Every structure is written in structure tokens, then in C-alpha cells.
Structure 1
Amino acid sequence: MITKSTLSPELMQALHDGLVIPAHPLALDENRKLDERHQRALTRYYMASGAGGIAIGVHSTQFEIRDEQYNLFEPVLRMAAEEIDKAKLERPFIKVAGICGPTKQALAETRIALDLGYDAALLSMGGLNGWSEQEILKRTEEVAALMPVIGFYMQPSVGGRIFTYDFWLQFSEIPNVVAIKMAPFNRYQSIDVARAVCHSSRRDEIALYTGNDDNIVNDLLTTFRFNVDGVTVEKSIVGGLLGHWAVWTNKAVKQLEDIKDIRDNAEIPREWLTLNIQVTDSNAAFFDPAHQFEGCIPGIHEVLRRQGLLKGTWCLNPNETLSPGQSEEIDRVYDQYPHLHDDEFVATHLKDWLS
């Protein structure tokens, strides 16, 4: 019988201090079969970059890995866990498993993740549009009874839905919810989550993470402040769990380190507002909002392909390809923002990661 898992004090502290957690892609070969060599190289890249964890089995890993014809959910989680265990890192490194589907499926995936030594579940609400908010809260309680949960507010354009403030208030009260990834790509809805957490009795137990790839730097510089029963309560977005951070990860780690150094200052240098726009512009090239995000996964793949970390941009769904003009947009942001990419870092270590 599986008993409830909780985060170690060391991981909990690291989560609240703020981590770079890339959303781990899926490496495929030209036959759309799992490319184990490059799959493992990606995990090594994220560790070497200084990331504080990885999230795998998530949207960037392609939800189709769960389909019976592919059956890749367990293999990709296992490979990442093996590489992390083998590395014997001397710093906290959180292993996050993406968990999806109705309650029965979500619990089955949670048990697989637990068996593989994962630390937390990033619990997707996608594909449950016919469910009431109370049904989704009950599902969350059942997963959290097994494993620490990171909530996930996913934007509707990639399968998410809009939730009420009251939903997030009740969500925050669920024991073993340790963080919430806010990724509605919408300021109003992000504020709903932050306000709900600040009004929760568990506010000090829940870390706020950005998944808003369109507003990364500003999110990380933001402190929310609310009056709660006559008391001023503040809560910051401490880190990110991001598809955008699946690329140029070494530079993302440096950005978060710098942000931690300055965000408690009375004044934040204005150049950080400019950097926010530069990162968002880069994300537009990768995530393809010009075509309703249809090229978001191939866009990430294309950057990794150029660096040698992937062999190609193939997805399990053959219709999921780069959009017209997307490659040229990636060329443009490479030219515009050379200080954001980590090509030199990757080139220095790529041979070792692929060995």
C-alpha cells in the first residue's frame, strides 16, 4: 500500500526560495520513435545548466505519450529519473511528474511517478471541461493524498479552462498542495490565484510559480500585496516552471539568480522591463501565438535542434510542425538578442551529454 509522500524540508525550502524548472521535451528520431540518446542528453543539459528541477510528462513532453500506441509515459519518466539519480547532485533538484486525465488515470500516473522516485505531481486540469469545479477539487484531494501537488492554471488555447477565485481559494486549502503554476497567460486570472493563496490559511505552505511564458521576468519581479482581515499579506512569484525554459536554460538560471539579488530592493532597475519584453519577444518566436500556439512544441524543438540537443523537430502527431514563417522568427530573435541564448555553453558540453 502506497502511503502519502511529502516533500523533504530541503526540497520544500528550495521550492520556496525559487527554482528554474524546465518543462522537459520529448526526443524523437525521424521515424517518430523515442530517441533515448537525445532524451537523456536533454536531462543532462538541464542539470548542467543549473536548473533546480525538471517537469516531465507535461504539455511540452506531448500528452500523446499516454496513448496506447506509444505507451511512453513510464519510459520517459524513468529515463529522466535515472539520469538525475546517476548525477548525484549536491544541490536540491525536484523531480516533477505531469499528471493528467480523470481521477482513475491521474491516480494511476501518480503511482507510477511515486514508484520512480518523483517528488511532486504537476496536476493538469486539461481535458476535464465537463467537470464541475467541485469534482476537480475532489480529484486534486485524491492525488494530494498520495503525492505533493503543484496546481496548474493552463491557458485555454492549449487545453486549459478558466476557474473562479473561489476554486483557487478552496484549492489552496487542500493539504499537500505545495505550489501553484500560474499559466493562464492572463493578468486578471493570475491575480485570482495569488489573491486566493494570500487569503488561504495555507499561504505560507504554497509557493507561487510562473508559467506565464509571455510575462516571465515581470512575474518574477512581482510581489502581490493584499489586505486580509486587516493584515497586509504579501506573496511573490519565486520561480518558474516553464516550457520557455526548456531552451536557453543556462541563461534563464542566471536571470533568476540576478532577479533574486534585486527583487527585494526598493527600486528595480528599469532595464529589467526591457529584458522582459526581449524574453517575451523570443517566446513569441518559439511558442507561435501568431498561429494560436500551433507551433509551440516544434518551436522549442527547433531551438534544441539548432543546438544539437535534438535531431529534429518531429512530434508524435505528424500534423504538429513549425508554422509558416516560424523558423524565420527564430532567426530574428537569435539576431536581436544574442545575450539570451546559451549556444556557447551547449557547444562546450554537448559531446559529453550525448556520450
Structure 2
Amino acid sequence: MRHLYDLRKSELVAWLKERGEPSYRALQLFGWLYQKRVQSFDEMTNLPKKLRQELETEGQTATSEAVLRQVSKIDGTVKFLLRWSDAVTVETVLMRHDYGNSVCVSTQVGCKMGCTFCASTLGGMIRQMTAGEMVEQLLYSQRLLDETNERVSSVVLMGSGEPMDNYDEAMKFIDIINDPSGLNIGQRHITISTVGMVPGIIRLADDGRPITLAVSLHAANDQLRSSMMPVNKAYPLAKLMDACHYYCQKTGRRISFEYALVGGKNDSLDDARELAALIADLPSHVNLIPVNYVPERNYTRTPVEQIDAFAAELRRLGVNATIRREMGHDISAACGQLRAEHAGRL
């Protein structure tokens, strides 16, 4: 069976054309999938009964189920744990901000990058997510928002997995949700995060997509970064910074650098000065993230006063820096935590 959320609109047109259907039928179907967001073919009343019967036997919409849903009592963040027919689970998070609703999407089941502060990598990577499976993650949040006549306004590919390691499917997902006759989420409202996969950064620059690039940095020297992020051994800071310069020059867009503050490891004022020097000539913004406690790791959170001092030192040195507002702190909203907890209970 064909997973219909896996298909761009043009691919849906071609798929139905093979079955003798005119193009407008595909446009109608695309509207049902993304504008009306129905999952039953019987509800698609402007499609001929014969076509609906064929879709029932040859096509699929939802291929996952929500096995857990948690809602933060602090800020209304919603976290879904979704399970597919092969028993794998991934998380997706709906975050409510003053400026709109954002959804964090996972691109892989687990992760093989091995970052020492992240729960997603604890069990390694099991498999890639398809574009359609990413779409399904987003639609769980959108259907919830439909109940209050709201919409998803932005998407971040910052859930479990490394998007650049699943580049083609991630870009296909973006094409599908960006389509004006569907969800119509503008590419400027989409962020893709990477641990520093240099080939992916260069490819993204050459593709010319107006999406936002976020680079997980977390340390400003190779020795410390390699101890926290094994990917740095393959793509050390010199290569990563070259790729970031190329991206900025090619696209004219600034980069968001993610920096998780770990108590006693990368959070001193000297670390702040080293970071400022590393990115001094890049159009960029630094997003400081108080590290989440993961039971399997021995990292501690940096005290609030020290986080403020770190941010102030960056700003004094001319770096645009903000401290990320923590979302869903009471519902295991860090990437991989809910999945790991659920697996531990099975």
C-alpha cells in the first residue's frame, strides 16, 4: 500500500494518473489530506465512490498511533509518543509561544551521533523516518490545534535523529508541508538542526532553500567538543566553521548556534569568550540551552546566575545571544526522554 503522506502533490497527481484519474482528483485528495485533514476515505465525498474504494485498498493515511500524550501544567506544551506498525516509537512536541505554535519533529528513530548530553542517542539509531512519517507527527499537533481553530505556525526538525543524515526525506517533508494548497507552512518558518554534518550544510546552501539552519555547537574548542560530540572527530571546528561561512555567503542568511550549558564543563566566562572568538565574523545568533537532566548521564545544570553571566559576557563581546525558554519541563520534553522512559517500562 502507498502511504499518501509520503507523496508531494506532483507525485500524487502522477500516482492517480496511472489509475486513469484526472489531475484535479489529486488536487481534491490533497485538499482532503492537508486542508480538511480527514483520515477516512469515506469522508472524501467529492471523490467518486470507485476511487474511494481503490484508495481504501491501495492507499494509507495514518500509519501510526499515539501511545502516550502528555500536557505540561506549566506552559501547555504537548508531547506525543507515536508508535508505528514495526513497534518503533518516536516523539513529537507541540510548543505554544506568544508568537504562535511550533512543532518539533523527529527525523530518525533514535540517533547514532552519540552526543553525551542527549537521551535520543542512548539506544543508537534504529531506522530512518520517511517524509510521510514526519508529516504524521506534524498532523497530530495540527489536529489538536484544530479543536481551538489554531494552526501550526512553525516547524523545527530538532527531535530525535540527525536531519542531515536523512536529508532527502527531510527535504521532501518540507516540500509537502510547504505546499500552498496544503498546510502552507512557509520555509522561512522551518528550522533544520544539525550536529555539524558538513556535507549536509554545504548541500543545504547549494539548494538555496530559505529555511533556517541551526548548528549544535556546545563547545568552542576541538578537545572539549569531541568529548561531548563524537561527530567533531569527523568534522572538526575548522571544517565546520568553513561550511558555516560558505552557507552564510551562499544564502545571505544567518546561522543559529545551539549551545547547551553543562555545569562545570563548558559554562565558564572563558568558555564564553572562546565561543565569541570562534563565531565573531559569522552572521549568527547563539541560543543558550540549560542542559536537561538525563538519568543515564552525570551532567548537572548550570546555575541560573551563571547562565545569565555567560549570556551577558557574549553580549558584551558583540554576540547576539538569548537563553532558550524551557518548554514542558514537567513532561520529559527533551528529545528522547519520553521514548527512553516508555521503553524502560515495557
Give the TM-score, by structure 2 length: 0.45
Structure holding more strand per residue: 2
**Normalised TM-score (structure 1):** 0.44
Q: Which has the higher helix share?
A: 1
Tell which structure's C-alpha radius of gyration is larger.
2
Higher RCO (C-alpha under 8 Å, 6+ residues apart) = 1
